[in-house]
Structure 1
Amino acid sequence: MQLAVVRISNFWSFGPKPVEVKLDSMTYLLGPNGAGKTAVLTALARMFGTTGSMRAVLPSDFHVAMGEAPAEGEVASLWIEADFTFPEVKEGEATAAVPIFFSHMQLQSAGEVPGVRIRLTAEMDVSGEIEQRLEYVLAADEDGTPTQLRGMPKLDRQAIQVHYLPARRNPADHIAYSAASLLVSPALLI
């Protein structure tokens, strides 16, 4: 199972026009400050983070254009999509990932590797209440806009995990983290 594409709309620095990030078997996110590296990684953590707090969409996650205020009285929305491919199916390998996602796999054309498309949609109402949904994309129109979705069960979501440790911008945080890990390390060796 391999993450092949991430699409982002209205999340952090990504505006309403969807941005597509294609990934290879090994991908590096390089760029100047403000290019969106952390936004891409945080977007994946919102979908597949290991804790509820990592997966929770926050009001600050919704994109607001620079120099503008959030629209008064309007519902804000964002979405993040992840396309996974299963090259092991084409190679005839038996892996644990295949059975979990088998019923949602799709072929775009003959001879291609099967894939699964997963979408996180979040909406924030005027009171600041956020509703989020993680769903399989079962069908899409010719533009790629989803036309048929099905909720992703928690068990399926737990089969995909993103372990993301955000950069610590404050040197004091690094020192506190290092000191704590030095104190805990000997206990782990026992």
Structure 2
Amino acid sequence: MSKRIQAKYKIDRRMGENLWGRPKSPVNRREYGPGQHGQARRGKLSDYGVHLRAKQKLKGYYGNITEKSFRRLYNEAVRLKGDTSENLIGLLERRLDAVVYRMKFVPTVFAARQFVNHGHVTVNGRRVNIASYQVKQGDVIEVRQKSKQLAIVLEAAASAEREVPEYLDVDHKTMKGTFTNIPTLSDVPYPVVMEPNLIVEYYSR
């Protein structure tokens, strides 16, 4: 289970943005941060603060993944050919929990991590219970037969809150989808502006 499952909206309030574009986000009602001093005027961020905020925002969006896991993905993005910031987005979107969330099998990325960890998902017919598993182009992701009628799955699939992006081919009747290609930053439907280039600068200091 995600360590932040009961406190996900604190991430929204700390960032001052509705990270997942959800109507229930407290940022829609209170734009100031959480806690006793949340309404105090925020000073202008330093360059370091701007870079750190960009990293925190992207980490938070994917279920507040640990620094160790995030740094590992960044190091992999550096090793790959091409633009490091685009590679980082591609690696994040290839996480199995992110793919399950994008396919609208569950309502939130936090629920996706728990859903995968509990063994409700198969990749190419084989059960995978590791949320950070890297999906490859052409992989088929499916909700296990005994899990297809779970209320959380049916409600997420029917929700009009968000759309399935074009780099995924999904059939909600069979609860099965294919990861057709690795997306670039412009392909990913983030509700807020993400700046992975600032994260590259942060780690390159």
TM-score, with structure 2 as normaliser: 0.25
Greater fraction helix: 2
Please say which structure displays the higher CA radius of gyration.
Answer: 1
Greater fraction strand: 1
